Amino acid sequence: MKALLRLSAFIIALMTLTTLLFGCGTTAAQDKNAPTTDVNAAEAKKDPVAATAAETGEATAKSNWPDKLVMGFLPGEESTPDAKASNAIHQKALTDYLGIPVEVIICEDYNAVVETMRTGKTHLASFGPFSYILAHDRSNAEAIVVNCKEGKKENAFYSSVFITNPSSGIKTLADLKGKSFAFVDPASTSGNLVPRAMFVKEFNVTPEEIDTKIFKSTQFSGSHNNSLLAVANKSVDAAACTRLTYETGIAKNTVKDTDVVIFAESDPIPNSPIAVRGDLPADLKAKIKEFYLQWQDPEYQKLRNIVGYKFMEINDSDYDAIRTIAAQMNMKPEDLSK
């Protein structure tokens, strides 16, 4: 009887051991085919715990980002209905891509765009080339992208055009002697810096003599559109603005080509950049640049009259030519930003 009991106990123990061995073997085989640490997106969707971990990691990465991103724009050109509509598209696209709210503000003048970044009120901004170098010196701005035709480097330039009413009799720069002229803003590239450099060469005067020895009177209109309208309305004899401003004004019937004509044009100027504040987190700056390099919106382009344009990467050194002109014209950032 005792022998039978011992045999039965042995058989039960053997069966239990066999079950354990085969069960662990099956689990081990499955584990060999399963990932040990990485969790892909599909698994995260199936596994709430993995999904939470992924979300936590993303939240941690963004923990040093601002709660809201504020973008500044230059005045005037952004106040038209088409500009406002395009800004709304821009704002939503950047908000969706970054996952944080983006606010757009229109500054009262060029210097205000520089100052809002210097005081931490804006995180990125659209600058003109000259206002950008001012912002680089004063506000730690870093140029990241420009918008240009086909996104090609050879197209990353624009020009300043000199415009007048056909009835003025002005045909060349030399004809401006004794006339009234509208510049755009002290910190404008195509609306002030470049035209003044051309006047120094054309009339053989110093930068300081331009307003008194060449013209009957000069003024700052505040925006490229204002200069275009001032010429069309004969408020001034001539003015300078971007070629795009002129072409857009004609295309949208803001002015007529019978009221405004181009009589001179500058050499190519490096395109206006979008710049970020230098002290932003590196991953946020990279994400903003990433957004622009992949973003194309047909409606935005149509509203801006830039169909076929793409953003391309730009560097601070691309604006050294503007720094050279500013130095030659005795235009210092600290003087223009007071």
Query: Which string of DSSP letters, residue by residue, matches 103-127?
Result: EEEE-SSHHHHHHHHHTTS-SEEE-
CB-CB contact of 173 with 202 (8 Å):
yes
Residue ranges with strand state E in the chain:
69-73, 102-106, 124-126, 141-149, 157-158, 160-164, 180-183, 217-220, 238-242, 261-265, 269-270, 273-277, 309-313
Bridge partners (DSSP) of residue 106 are: 73
Confidence band of 80 (pLDDT split at 50, 70, 90): confident
Taking residues 27-45, what's their average pLDDT? Answer: 36
Confidence band of 74 (pLDDT split at 50, 70, 90): confident
With a cut of 50, say whether residue 285 has pLDDT above it. yes
Nearest by Cα to 137 from 273, 326, 334, 325 = 334
Element (H, E) at 266: none
With a cut of 60, say whether residue 44 has pLDDT above it. no
DSSP code of 272?
P
What is the DSSP code string of 156-214? -EE-EEEEE-GGG---SGGGGTT-EEEE--TT-IIIIIHHHHHHHHHHT--GGGHHHHT
User: Could you give all domains of the chain from N- to C-terminal order, each with its CATH number?
Assistant: 69-156+270-336 (3.40.190.10), 160-267 (3.40.190.10)
CA distance 335 to 317: 22
Per-residue model confidence as pLDDT tens digits over 101-141: 999 999 989 999 999 999 999 999 999 999 999 999 999 99
Confidence band of 60 (pLDDT split at 50, 70, 90): low
Residue type, 4: L
Q: Output the pLDDT for position 331.
A: 85
Burial degree of 264 (CB within 10 A; 0-12, 13-18, 19+): buried
Nearest by Cα to 291 from 143, 98, 142, 64 = 98
CB-CB contact of 263 with 170 (8 Å):
yes
Nearest by Cα to 67 from 99, 36, 43 = 99
Taking residues 210-220, what's their average pLDDT? Answer: 97
Confidence band of 76 (pLDDT split at 50, 70, 90): low
Q: Output the pLDDT for position 6.
A: 44
| Least confidently predicted of 18-27, 251-260, 293-302 | 18-27
With a cut of 60, say whether residue 214 has pLDDT above it. yes
Q: Output the pLDDT for position 53.
A: 41
Per-residue model confidence as pLDDT tens digits over 251-274: 999 999 999 999 999 999 999 999
CA distance 313 to 83: 23
Per-residue model confidence as pLDDT tens digits over 171-210: 999 999 999 999 999 999 999 999 999 999 999 999 999 9
Over the Cα atoms of the chain, what is R_g? 31
Confidence band of 30 (pLDDT split at 50, 70, 90): very low
CA distance 162 to 189: 13
How many CB atoms neighbour CB 259 within 10 A? 19
Q: In whole numbers, what is the pLDDT of the chain averaged over residues?
A: 85
Confidence band of 78 (pLDDT split at 50, 70, 90): low
Q: Output the pLDDT for position 59.
A: 56
| Angle ∠(133,138,141) on CA atoms, nearest 5 | 60
Q: Give the percent of the chain with pLDDT over 90.
A: 75
Q: What is the pTM of this model?
A: 0.78
